[in-house]
Amino acid sequence: MEKTISMNSEQYYIAHICKEDGREQSLLEHLEGTAILAKQFAEPFGGGALAWACGLLHDYGKYSERFQQRIRGKNITADHSTPGGQSIYQQALSAKMGILGMVAAYCIMGHHSGLPDGGSSSDSDGEPTLQGRLRKPCPSFDVSMDEHYPPPLTPPKTPIKDGFGAAFFIRMLFSALVDADYLNTEKFFQKGGYARGGFSDIAELEKRLLEHIETFLRADNATGSLNDRRNALLRNCLSAAENESGLFTLTAPTGSGKTIASLTFALHHAVRHGKRRVIYIVPYNTIIEQNAAEFERIVGAENVLQHHSNVQYDSKDKSENENKPYSEEESRKRYSTENWDYPIIVTSSVQFFESLFAARPGKCRKLHNLADSVLIFDEAQMIPIPYLKPCTRAIGELVQNYGCTAVLATATQSALDNYFGSLQPKEITENPDDLYRALRRTTISVVQDSFSEESLAARLAESERVLCIVNTRKGAQRVFTELHRLEPEGTFYLSTTMYPKHRSRVLKQICDRLDDNKKPPCRVVSTSLVEAGVNLDFPAVYREEAGLDSIIQAAGRCNREANNHSPEESMVYIFTFEGRRAGSAQQANVDAYKQIARRYQDLGAPETIHAYFEQLFYNKGDAALDQKSVLPRFNQGLSAFSFPFRTIAEEFRIIEQNTQDIYILSAYPDLEQRLRNGERNRELFRELGHYSVSLYESDVRALCDLGQLEIIDEDVRLMPGIFYDENFGVSLIPKGGNAIIF
């Protein structure tokens, strides 16, 4: 055993050394500073005392002689997280509180490498599981931390009913610990920390929003039935926001002003009930950017944080000015994406749900800031079906045990009510059926005869302005190619086979034509990417047969602004291709749509859509709503308090990683040269995302076989400009003598 040393002795224990200036942070200062922050972060969900204990012991292993030699320059390894976990667990066993000790041990042992799987009693001391690490031999030492050691172990106030609830609490406690550890360390190395804060409080944001909507709510300004309906929805939201925290639904069709109405509910409710922030969870990045821009306009850009795969809080344009500095606001937002400490956050459903089931410290760090928040799930019906039950259970956990209010905002009634157990949602909209009838803008019609790609293109060519949505990228390319041959003027294509910057340019051309009073022709063939978050308004839309939810989203691109067109004139045509069935990923949705279409005449009515989702969930069966068995695996772990944190985190992928990125950089030689020079970092790849296309692995292999891709290394594939089509991007159909065989 290493000698017992009091912190009052002359020996000085170091937590960190700054290499730039030689400054040292004492270990006691780091432990106490982390403990104070962790306690503060966990108080909202009743875990403050336990978080304090975790903070005091998370780096307990740094008291070992081996670690102190390492930090002073000796080239040796030292495990500094296992000893703290072992110490707190042994202390808990002595006090007959072994479960609490395991809760803390999960967090302490995972604060660098991530939450471990629990493992089993048969795990050897070399296993990376909790049980393996509890048995791992560690250097023995004894250190007195005066009155702080041993720290008190106090049960959390959060009620834990099952294994999922227990694992959820551990992850939230882990979040409080790792964020506190990061912030205290950041404060030392950055001599006070990075720029954070700088935003207004929730009450000020509500004031700005109310000033914005007041002009709409005045009786003398509320002219026309559309404004009347939007104002009624705003008043519904203001009234419902007075209710106590809980689960709500907001059912409102396209054009009802749902985005601003839901923000009105969120901010008003937050002020009335002491919520700390508003978090918008959106299925598509395009919707995120649009919503965030609208929120910034109303409450100020300094109060809104975007966090999704496309966002870059970085003013530096590497091709123009390498040394251009970050603005103060950009700096704050860059660091706040780590822990979500902003009053309004707009994020993707992928980022949100994958974080809730993550194990890595960086991904979990923000989770404690979900407590006491208002969560708005825009287009909630798009929660991925393979993860529906774990996602709805997580939402319920946040509402029931972490002080959150959640709003499921949809243009369609999505039949999610059955998946929240005893937590019954309250509808905000006074009469969704009346609102639908008042704002109905289209007529959905089923085309009885099937089309060939050529006959569909000929039909589209008869219209001056029309949108056609096709299920597959290859099918869309074939229809576009034929339509462009017939009518090259004003014919456009939109798809993920175009890199984002290219797609944005084309989208602007389309919008400019649609906004032109001279009404130039505008015919668009697209994949489903236009169905949400893209503000297009066509007098007619063709939609290949799909799930009813997709059809309703497509209908939202028809007569969107209701400008001098009646619902009877604004047609949405559902069509099929000759001899072609839906792909395996869509077949269940198509089957449910067909079953419902036989029973309901008005396919856009709320009751029809609700029935569709009930039918879809029934057809798929319970097992398909939790495809990775997330809930049973956590619940089965309760008896031994062994939870598969790491395993589930690795499996929980809302977007399955069966694609590969290729880069089209011929017009961006600086970026291409950085790749060829071997540069590989997150910042570069974030920038490259604007010029990348994600393709299925089979498509990538086919393009490689044709010599159309240059493989730089395992992660980098370049497509020369000569192979990239300016009309539709990466070609997936035979062209110029080359053939891709599928």
- Burial class of 734 by CB neighbour count within 10 A (0 to 12, 13 to 18, 19+): exposed
**Is a pLDDT exceeding 70 seen at residue 734?**
no
Which of 132, 89, 128, 135 shows the shortest CA–CA distance to 112? 128
Quote the mean pLDDT of the chain.
88
Predicted confidence at residue 309, as pLDDT, reads 63
Give dist(CA 62, CA 669) in Å, integer. 48
- Residue 138: which pLDDT band, with cuts at 50, 70 and 90? confident
- Residue 26 has a CB neighbour count (10 Å cut-off) of 15
Mean pLDDT value of segment 147-154 = 73
Mean pLDDT value of segment 477-494 = 96
Mean pLDDT value of segment 621-631 = 95
Mean pLDDT value of segment 653-658 = 77
**Is a pLDDT exceeding 60 seen at residue 416?**
yes
Predicted confidence at residue 195, as pLDDT, reads 62
Mean pLDDT value of segment 335-339 = 73
Q: Provide DSSP, 451-491.
A: B-HHHHHHHHHT-SEEEEE-SSHHHHHHHHHHHHHH--TTE
Give dist(CA 264, CA 238) in Å, integer. 7
Predicted confidence at residue 7, as pLDDT, reads 44
Predicted confidence at residue 523, as pLDDT, reads 98
Predicted confidence at residue 586, as pLDDT, reads 85
Cβ atoms of residues 159 and 18 within 8 Å: no
- Residue 316: which pLDDT band, with cuts at 50, 70 and 90? very low
Predicted confidence at residue 306, as pLDDT, reads 85
- Residue 417: which pLDDT band, with cuts at 50, 70 and 90? confident
Average the pLDDT over each of 321-330, 395-404, 577-586 and give the range with the smallest value.
Answer: 321-330
Pick the more confident residue, 460 or 563: 460
Q: What are phi and psi of 586, to 5 degrees?
A: -105, -10
Q: What is the dihedral of CA 191, 194, 200, 206, to 10 degrees?
A: -140
Which H or E element spans position 21? none
**Is a pLDDT exceeding 70 seen at residue 742?**
no
Predicted confidence at residue 253, as pLDDT, reads 86
Write out pLDDT tens, residues 188-204. Answer: 988 876 666 778 999 99
Give dist(CA 91, CA 478) in Å, integer. 69
Predicted confidence at residue 655, as pLDDT, reads 79
**Whole-number CA gyration radius for the chain:** 28
Predicted confidence at residue 477, as pLDDT, reads 94
**Is a pLDDT exceeding 50 seen at residue 239?**
yes
- For the chain, what percent of residues have pLDDT higher than 70? 90
Q: Could you say which DSSP state residue 424 is in?
A: -
Dihedral (CA of 351, 353, 356, 360) sign: negative
Cβ atoms of residues 521 and 464 within 8 Å: yes
Cβ atoms of residues 571 and 499 within 8 Å: no
Within 13 Å of residue 612, how many CA atoms lie on the same side as its CB? Answer: 30
Mean pLDDT value of segment 449-457 = 96
**Is a pLDDT exceeding 70 seen at residue 736?**
no
Contacts of 504 (CB under 8 A, 6+ apart): none
Distances (CA, A) of 590 to 574, 597, 614: 12, 10, 14
Write out pLDDT tens, residues 691-719. Answer: 999 888 888 999 999 899 999 988 899 99
Predicted confidence at residue 146, as pLDDT, reads 64
Tokens of 635: 């619940």
User: Does the predicted TM-score (pTM) go above 0.85?
Assistant: yes
- Residue 160: which pLDDT band, with cuts at 50, 70 and 90? confident
- Residue 310: which pLDDT band, with cuts at 50, 70 and 90? low
Distances (CA, A) of 338 to 211, 322, 333: 32, 24, 9
Q: Provide DSSP, 573-615.
A: EEE-BTT-PPPHHHHHHHHHHHHHHTT-S-TTSHHHHHHHHHH
Give dist(CA 714, CA 541) in Å, integer. 41
Give dist(CA 510, CA 494) in Å, integer. 10
Mean pLDDT value of segment 625-653 = 96
Predicted confidence at residue 390, as pLDDT, reads 97
Q: What are phi and psi of 180, to 5 degrees?
A: -65, -40
